[in-house]
Amino acid sequence: MKRSIIRIDEDICNGCGQCVPSCHEGAIRIVDGKARLVGDSLCDGLGACLGECPQGAITIEQREADGYNEIEALENIMKEGQTAVSAHLKHLADHGQTSYLKEAENYLLKKGPQMAHDYITDKPLACGCPGSMTRDFRKEAGQAQQAPASGPGIGTIRSELQQWPVQLRLINPRAPFFEDAEVVVSADCVPFTYANFHQKFLKDKVLVVFCPKLDEDLEEYVAKLASIFQENNIRSVTAVRMEVPCCGGTVSIVEEALHRSGKNLIMKEYMISMRGEII
């Protein structure tokens, strides 16, 4: 069928990845340093990604293409978690795509009442909070993370954070900062307990944090981490947990995600005492 669909000019694209988070269907990925459409059936042709390309490499064209498949797109998005699904539903509503929206909601209802409640009624996450916007500090003008720290009492200590967001529930598995990255998966309490966290664990690495005891739907975390490991060229994985027994879930979740991803990656594990020492 002939329909509207995006076209990416690879001669112009510089692989910055800014278009990836804006695609609510997960149809764009960075492959071999270029943004690519991974499947016609995942692109709804509405062009939410158009304004995100600083090079102007993305346009809408009319061509023969497979029809957009809402269920296929939704299943693809669900790998990224609740925030991504909610953003997708809002995207459909904002563009008046009532038939696709109804199809998505019916599918979620069939998957179970709890899932329907989490996704369909999750208005706060669907609002598109600016605070959850993907940012790669390594590529921002001025290389802010390399600037010396300043201000009273700071001395020479500076933040080594490479990206935003850091909470696993908010992270897009296709975010550009994951490509060729060393990943640190940390329990929430670790950075507060281990004083030298930035210099010891975070320097030149991408950070993912969550709490294995207090967070809900840890299965979602396993699936999202597996997607991160599977869809990106991850160079190393480090898991950092607290000594308390309930924090052992941090390592278990990472191990299961690595198993599901099929990637042969060695995981380094560190345990931090409640007094802030490496055990």
Say what the pTM is: 0.58
CATH number of the domain residue 54 falls in: 3.30.70.20
DSSP-assigned letters across all residues of 85-99 = HHHHHHHHHHTT-HH
Helix/strand/coil for 232: coil
Cis, bond preceding 165 (omega within 30 deg of 0) = yes
Which parts of the chain sit beneath pLDDT 70? Answer: 112-132, 139-156
Show which of 108, 126, 144 is a domain's final residue.
126
Q: Are residues 120 and 143 in the same domain?
A: no
Q: Are residues 41 and 161 in the same domain?
A: no
pLDDT of residue 80: 76
pLDDT of residue 79: 80
Q: Residue 77's domain spans which residues?
A: 2-126
pLDDT of residue 72: 92
Structural domain includes residue 279: no
Mean pLDDT of the chain: 84
pLDDT of residue 58: 93
How far is residue 279 from each of residues 195, 196, 209, 253, measured CA to CA in Å?
14, 14, 20, 20
Half-sphere exposure of 252 (CA within 13 A, CB side): 10
Q: Are residues 31 and 106 in the same domain?
A: yes
Q: Are residues 23 and 55 in the same domain?
A: yes
What is the H or E stretch that residue 9 is in? Answer: none
pLDDT of residue 143: 47
Q: Are residues 104 and 143 in the same domain?
A: no
Where are the strands (E) in the chain, listed by range?
2-8, 28-31, 34-37, 58-64, 135-136, 163-164, 182-187, 206-210, 236-242, 267-272
Q: Are residues 179 and 247 in the same domain?
A: yes
Structural domain includes residue 111: yes
pLDDT of residue 260: 92
Q: Are residues 238 and 267 in the same domain?
A: yes
